[in-house]
Every structure is written in structure tokens, then in C-alpha cells.
Amino acid sequence: MNNKPLYMDNKSTQTLREGLKEYYALNPHVTNPATQPSRFGKILRAHDVGHVIYGCDTGMHDELKILPLFWWTSECTFQTYLKMKNSPAVDVMYDDMIREKGTLWLYGKVLRVLPTVLIELIPIWIRTRNRPKLLPFLEFEPLLDRSLLDIRQEFDLISFIQ
């Protein structure tokens, strides 16, 4: 029996809104974007939307995979990420994780999963070169009532969801 969340199924017909509801229900440890300052909350919510659209969980493997997926398939380029990362609000996310788990845990976990993530990312990078249509990042609201399958097909994302 497969206990994988519906939003992680690459052919899920859930709406993005339903997938987000499931994501938050399954991940109560995730910071609620509504509890944050509006600018930072919007970035957090966009990141959570990415988890749902890309079918990623909150484990270290998928956290390391989702950022390059954003950079290569969405309007959130690496340069956009660097600008957002310079915000003190984003540091809160990393500081909370380090405080909760410890620096050694965080970097140890990254080093353990990084080789497999890199092997997975190389072919993704090749397939995502010069994409004609990029997934919205901060302006995702028009997608909320569309099915995940429809969104993934429109933005050619199905092959990245396992």
C-alpha cells in the first residue's frame, strides 16, 4: 500500500489549493506563512506552493532538489533567490532549523544526501535549458484552483516528480 500524499502523485488531479491544504496538514512543523511579515510570508507560501507543484516532501533530499527546480523551471531565478536570501527574514528559517537540530546535524544531513541529489539534478538541468514557459513564483494565486496535473502539464513538470 502506498501512503504517499496525493499532491506527490505526478498525475494528481487535486487542485493546488487542495494540495496545499494536504501539505500543511501533513507538515505541522512548517512555519505558517500567515504568522510572518507579509513580504516574508509571501516567499514562504511560494516555497510551499513549490513543494506541492513539484511533488516534494520536507526531507533534506527534496529541500535540496526544490531550489534548483525553482531556478530552472520557474520565475524564481538564482539571482532572485540571492536577493531574497539577503533578507533577514529568510535567515530566520535557517536559524530555526539550526537551533532545533544543530549545525552539525544540518550539515551532516546535507553532506549525506547531496551526492544522490546531484546525480538526480544533472539530467534535470540538461532537460530544463531554455524553457519557453516558466512557472510563476510569487504570483501563483491564479493557479490555486487548477489541478496539479494541469499545472504540471502546462509547465512541463511531470517528468521531475517521482
Task: Report domain extents, the chain.
Answer: 13-160
Instruction: Please report the pLDDT score of residue 135 as a whole number.
Output: 97
* Higher-scoring residue by pLDDT: 109, 54: 54
Query: Taking 80 as the threshold, does the pLDDT of residue 89 lie above it?
Result: no
Contact status, residue 81 vs residue 71, Cβ threshold 8 Å? yes
Q: What percent of the chain has pLDDT over 70?
A: 91
pLDDT for res 11: 94
Single pTM value for the model = 0.87
CB environment 57-91: b (16+ within 10 A), e (fewer)? beebbbbbbbebbbbbbbebeeeebeebeeeeebe
pLDDT tens string 142-156:
999 999 999 999 999
